[in-house]
Amino acid sequence: MTPREQTEQIEASTLCKEASLSMRTRGRRIPQAKCPVRTEYQRDRDRIIHSNAFLRLKHKTQVYLIPTGDHYRTRMTHTLEVAQIARTITRALRLNEDLAEAIALGHDLGHTPFGHAGEAILNELSPTGFKHYLQSVRVVDYIEKQGKGLNLTYEVRNGIACHTNQMAKTREGYIVRLADRIAYINHDIEDSIRAGIIQTKQLPPYPVKILGKTKSERITTVVSSLIANGSVEIKMDSDIQKAQDELHTWMYDNVYKNPIAKAEENKAKLLIEKLYNYFYKNPDKMPDEYKIITEKFTKEQAVCDYVAGMTDGYAINLFNNLFIPKGWSK
């Protein structure tokens, strides 16, 4: 018996009946021999961690564009916090922790430079629109590994695609969707206080009373409620759900739409628009793997994929090289 088979037996004997067992996966887009050591979901997790798109997350905006402070979240640290929360919930409910971790680590692979500002402008520019959660699936299916993709399992790909506004086919996928919101509400509060955009005393009283005053208290309250309600129907207690929703709305009104917090976003959108239009007119200037995408899909799709994959710093440097005159150096 291989190590993978031993782990599969442990899953079957210890996980709850609602769990997604790795031995029962619906499989991969391209059939592939199984790893003797890792389960299918563990293998997906490793493929995501070692992908180029995952590495780039450390230089992509979460909320505050390219901050100079050391302790602001990036898209990478957000992803890690989502994975930690999802793993805690799935482990306690005896669901498949490996599946939840893989989905969480891959859920934002398709995010643009400059966060949702980049997503918004690419949605305007692309003839087919742009949604980061669908782009994350494109990354793992068609962009990584020189266009070969990561060939992930159905359950991981479905969880990634559904992490924003759809119901995943697995409970693990739905938990990642909840963990994503739990993570970003609370770490964005912390970053916004650090940035001077809001103060702790401004937080709405009902969520503070129900969920707690600190990030740790709030996350613990919500996670504990989800766990207490069991694995049959993944939900929070009604008062906790109400408080969570109120805090989410408050963050949109006071942070995500705050003109001070968003002051640089129009510049970021203009930068991305200029890059998109440049490479649309000069597709031969893109790296070779995106020329392959042009042949397989369309020029518009290839340009969108290329620009969406850039980090904040890379996009800025490329813009400067293409559009800002350089001083004479001799």
pLDDT digits (tens, 9 = 90+) for 244-290: 999 999 999 999 999 998 889 999 999 999 999 999 999 999 999 99
308 domain-assigned: no
Cα gap 20→40, rounded to integer Å = 11
pLDDT tens by residue, 123-169: 999 999 999 999 999 999 999 999 999 999 999 999 999 999 899 99
User: Is the full-model pTM beyond 0.95?
Assistant: yes
* Residue ranges making up the domain that contains 215: 37-256
**Structural domain contains residue 232:** yes
- Let me know if residue 236 belongs to a domain: yes
Report the domain count for the chain: 1
Is 26 within a domain? Answer: no
Q: What is the mean pLDDT of residues 1-10?
A: 97
> Distance between alpha carbon 272 and the CA centroid of its chain, in Å?
20
Q: Note the pLDDT tens digit of each residue in 54-97.
A: 999 999 999 998 887 889 999 999 999 999 999 999 999 999 99
Residue 85 lies in a domain: yes
Domain contains 299: no
| Inside any domain, residue 271 | no
- Report whether 177 contacts 162 (CB < 8 A): yes
Answer yes or no: is 97 within a domain: yes
Nearest to 142 by CA among 283, 309, 2, 22: 309
66: left (phi over 0), alpha (psi -120 to 50) or beta: left
Q: Where are the beta strands (DSSP E) in the chain?
A: none
CATH of the domain at 221: 1.10.3210.10
Nearest 5°: phi and psi at 88?
Answer: -60, -45
Distance of alpha carbon 85 from alpha carbon 176, whole angstroms: 8
Neighbours of 322 (CB within 10 A): 13
